[in-house]
Structure formats: C-alpha cells, structure tokens
A and B are shown apart, each in its own frame.
Chain A
C-alpha cells in the first residue's frame, strides 16, 4: 500500500462493503443543485435504497456532497465541515459550480472559488447544470464501486 498501513484483505473487503452500503451524506445545500438532491431523495428516485441517508451532522456522515457555488467567504466553512467528518470520508462534487466555478468561472466572477478541489480532496465529480437525479445516482454507485475497489483519486489529505 502507498500509505504504508496494514492491509487486512478479508476484513478490509467486509469493511469497505459495509462502508459503501451505508454512505450517509451531508450536503452543503448551496445553489440550485441542492434541489436536485432533494429530487433524488424523494420517492421517485429514492437514494435510500442505495443506503444513502441524509445527515445533518457532519460527525455522523461519510460523504460530503458539495453543491452549488462556493464563495471565498464560505471556503473556510466548507473546510471546517470536511474536517469535522470522521476518517473514511469521501467528497462528491455536484454540478459545474462546485466542480469548476460553472457560470461563475474566474473570468466572470471575482468571489467564487473555481472548484471545490482547491479546498477539499474530491473523490467523484458529477457534471451537469444541474446534474439530474439519475446522474447523482450514477455518481453514488460509481463511488460505491470505487470504495469497494479501494481506489481513491486523491490520497487522504
């Protein structure tokens, strides 16, 4: 392993299966993409059947979903939110705002962070403006596969 830790093959498999099957998430709830999360939570798409339940408290969450634009004033708060989460934690960037500024790209806007990856390490990006609930579901399933396969795009910060 890169980080030089133990590798417990069977237990690790069970653990990551358990982690991936109960991805409790906390969202930043910003921007219009937050409404798509609400739609994905609802009965039509029902994220809960993948084991994804919304949490209010970052201390009980495994996944941080960053939606909407992040202003420079909010950057420190987003980092604080991430830092409060317990260790195996994952970050999903939802929509073009959180991914790279979107319509508030650095050429057009002075106060919006061009991408959440400059504040927190991001595991998965879901493109779209807004991303449809199907895309969110696809992103979550991809993330679950990634967790089961022990693949992280960024080393833990």
Chain B
C-alpha cells in the first residue's frame, strides 16, 4: 500500500480537510496540506487507520513563508514503515502577533515538547497542550523575554537582565593599571 492511497480515505473521514497533495523532497514521498482547523480530526483519522496507523510524530518544524507560518508534521508508522508529511499554514494578524493553533498532543503525546518549542520561538499558542507554562508562552527562553526570536520580524534585544546585548565599546576610564583601551 502506498501513502497516496490514504488521501481518498482521509477525504472521506474528514471532508474538505485536504487542500493539496504535493511531492516532498526527492524520495518520492508526499506532503499533504490540510486545513488548520481540522488538524485534530485529520490526526485522529490517520492515527486510527488500520493500514497506515501513523503513531509516531518524529518532528514538528515551523517556517515562515511570506506572511504565513507553515507547520510540518513528520509522521511515521512504526509497524507499517510508512512516512507522511502533514502541512498546515496559519497566518498571524501581524508579523509580531502571536497566533493560535490546535494541539495534536491527544493523538501524538510526543508532540508536547516540539509544540512548546514552536510556541516559544515562533509565537504559536497551542490550544490543548497540557504542560504548565505553555499558555504563558515561555518554555525554553527565560521568563520575561520579549518577542519570538525565529520570526523574521524579530528585533534583537538591546539588553536583558540589565546585561547590555552589545559588543564592548572600549573603556573611557583607566583600569587598575592605568591603561585606557
């Protein structure tokens, strides 16, 4: 059975969810673009499918393309050996604004940490992620950090914790040896 056989089943299980099917990479694999709001149903459907049973989320990646954030779910079925790439795009209101997305933790528990990472670095709030702190939006970065560093609109901080985030500009007062650099 080929992964492309999954598409009609998916259209039957979640009507209107599949937007586009495109080749992924050079290995003859396919990526399936699905609607952002039906990601949870799609996840359940392909997880439960007897012939494919995608039960392992290998990775969750995010990239910024124009104004949209594109999430890629790298899936694998441990039993059957299939791979599939699910893609979803979401558009934040403004380049700096956080955006909401549905969590797939219920289907794939291993999505917990990648989702937290994505929420920290890209400002995507995953609704349904159970880890405390995921709603406050800071997990990897220290508390009080402003902005989402991997967004293209991100501006580097000038200081944090009173530590200036600049190169030293040289001393104006002599040091203990009387040297001015």
Point out residues on A near B: beta carbons under 8 Å: 72-73, 75-76, 100-101, 105-107, 110-111, 113-115, 118-119, 151-155
Cβ of B6 < 8 Å from any Cβ of A?
A: no
A100-B168, A110-B154 known; A75 vs B149 contact (CB < 8 Å) = no
* Cβ contact of A110, chosen from B149, B164, B166, B177, cutoff 8 A: B149
Please state if A153 and B175 are interface contacts (CB–CB under 8 Å).
yes
The reply to whether A118 and B176 form a contact with Cβ atoms under 8 Å apart is no
Secondary structure at chain B's binding surface: helix, strand, loop or mixed?
Answer: loop
Contact count A vs B, C-beta below 8 Å: 44
User: Which of under 10, 10 to 19, 20 to 34, or 35 or more describes the interface residues of B?
Assistant: 10 to 19
Q: Are B161 and A110 in contact (CB under 8 A)?
A: no
Chain B positions within 8 Å of A76 at CB level = 161
Distance between Cα atoms of A64 and B177 in the complex (Å): 23
Q: Which residue of A lies closest to B143 (CB)?
A: A73
Given known pairs A110-B154, A152-B176, A153-B175, the reply for A73 and B167 (CB within 8 Å) is: no
- Chain B's nearest CB lies how many Å from the CB of A53? 29
Name the distance in Å between A90's Cβ and chain B's nearest Cβ: 15
